[in-house]
Every structure is written in structure tokens, then in C-alpha cells.
């Protein structure tokens, strides 16, 4: 039976140091905590809550990602150098095909929904 996913429900928390992924981190030592709230049976759709400490890294590709910032301050920097800043309360969509960087300026928490095309 399908049910509506309540983001207040308890979930398993995954923690990682992004520097453990070689060639991704450009600046700093960002640490991530992810609370997965939903993953579709085929793994292509995910939703959850994520927190990152400051740092800058190459953005993941082959996905659409919708974000709502619950707290913090970030910049999305495209590979041509264009910067877009987002703060607490802002929402945005990173479209499949975006090439650039996440730059977390202060510890940030977001709700996210990701459609991962790498799962197809």
C-alpha cells in the first residue's frame, strides 16, 4: 500500500566526508549528513534532507534536483563562472546537464528531490 511520505518520520542517517570521493572536492573539507526519506523501487527517484558543512565540490551530473534551503547559504557556480546565491527559505532546481560546483558558504540544510538518470 502506498502512503504519503512524512518528512517527520524517523529515518536512517548516512554520514560521509566528501573528501573520501577522489577528485570531487575543490576547496575545504565538507562533511555531509543525509536522511533518506524515500527511494523508488528502481532507485531513480529519491527525497530526503541533507546537511553540509562549508566547502566547494564538483556537482553531480545526470540528475534533476529540486532543493528547498531550510538553513544556510550556498552558491551554485556554473562551469562558465556564473554564480547564483541561495539562502534560507530559497528553492531552486538544478537541471540534468548542469556542469559546475556546489559552494557551501555556511553550514546548510535542505530538503531535496532527485530524479537520477544514471539509474536507467
Summarised one tens digit per residue, pLDDT across range 13-44 is: 899 998 888 788 999 999 999 999 999 999 99
At 119, the pLDDT band (50, 70, 90 cuts) reads low
pTM: 0.91
Domains and CATH numbers, the chain: 13-119 (2.60.120.10)
Average pLDDT over residues 52-68: 95
Residues 24, 101 contacting (CB under 8 angstroms): no
Query: Quick check: 55 pLDDT over 80?
Result: yes
81 beta partners: none
pLDDT reported for residue 22? 74
Average pLDDT over residues 105-119: 93
pLDDT reported for residue 43? 92
Residue among 112, 113, 71, 69 at smallest CA distance from 91: 69
Residues 20, 55 contacting (CB under 8 angstroms): no
Residues 76, 84 contacting (CB under 8 angstroms): yes
Compute CA distances 44 → 6, 17, 57, whole Å: 20, 23, 23
Amino acid at each position: 500500500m502506498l502512503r504519503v511520505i512524512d518528512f517527520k518520520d524517523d529515518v536512517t542517517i548516512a554520514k560521509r566526508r566528501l573528501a573520501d570521493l577522489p577528485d570531487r572536492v575543490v576547496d575545504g573539507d565538507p562533511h555531509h549528513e543525509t536522511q533518506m526519506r524515500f527511494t523508488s523501487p528502481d532507485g531513480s527517484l529519491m527525497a530526503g534532507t541533507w546537511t553540509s558543512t562549508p566547502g566547494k565540490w564538483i556537482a553531480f551530473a545526470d540528475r534533476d534536483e529540486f532543493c528547498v534551503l531550510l538553513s544556510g547559504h550556498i552558491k551554485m557556480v556554473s562551469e562558465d563562472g556564473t554564480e547564483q546565491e541561495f539562502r534560507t527559505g530559497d528553492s531552486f532546481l538544478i537541471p540534468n546537464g548542469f556542469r559546475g560546483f556546489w559552494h557551501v558558504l555556511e553550514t546548510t540544510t535542505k530538503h531535496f528531490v532527485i530524479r537520477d538518470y544514471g539509474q536507467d
